[in-house]
Amino acid sequence: MIASLLLPLLLQSAEASPECDAKAAEMGVQQPMNQCAYRDFVIADRELNAQWKITAAAMKARDAEFAANSSAKYDTREGYFKSLLEAQRGWLRYRDAHCRVDGYTARGGSMEPMLVSFCKTRLTRLRIDELRALIATQ
């Protein structure tokens, strides 16, 4: 019941492509909407992986620059890259668990996979922005 009330809002907030929206609406069944939502997540995940490579390389460069600094020998904390890697692993666990719970709005229903994909897409796009912001400074 609650899930059916949320569907219009969720469809508006999803970043699905127009052709995917039209296909799903035309068919009037859940499966195409699930497939479109998952496809959008896959696209966002690819973008995340591309941004990860750029940000990771920048953090490794910062580690090398810091190691060349004379005060580095007194700083025994984790480096830029190792800290970023730890954060990314934690973020992935958070995203997957949070979106699983978000999908429970329609737990066991045909709409659940779409809700999970919407959530993962949204959080992944936010994470891409965070990774970009990390290298925008300095």
CATH of the domain at 128: 1.20.1270.180
- pLDDT of amino acid 22: 59
| Residue at 16 is within a domain | no
| Residue at 51 is within a domain | yes
- pLDDT of amino acid 77: 86
- pLDDT of amino acid 37: 96
Has this prediction a pTM greater than 0.85? no
| Residue at 11 is within a domain | no
The answer to whether 118 and 14 have CB atoms below 8 angstroms apart is yes
| Residue at 65 is within a domain | yes
Chain segment 28-79, per-residue pLDDT in tens? 689 999 999 999 999 999 999 999 999 999 999 999 998 887 676 788 889 9
Average pLDDT estimate for 7-27: 53
CA atoms of 35 and 20, how far apart (whole Å)? 9
The answer to whether 113 and 35 have CB atoms below 8 angstroms apart is no
- pLDDT of amino acid 4: 43
* Structural domain containing residue 122: 28-70+77-136
CA-based torsion, 16, 20, 22, 26: positive or negative: negative
- pLDDT of amino acid 9: 43
The answer to whether 98 and 119 have CB atoms below 8 angstroms apart is yes
| Residue at 81 is within a domain | yes
| Residue at 96 is within a domain | yes
Question: Count of domains in the chain?
Answer: 1
Q: DSSP assignment of 81-118, as one string? A: HHHHHHHHHHHHHHHHHHHHHHHGGGTTSTTHHHHHHH
Does 133 have pLDDT greater than 80? yes
Does 17 have pLDDT greater than 80? no
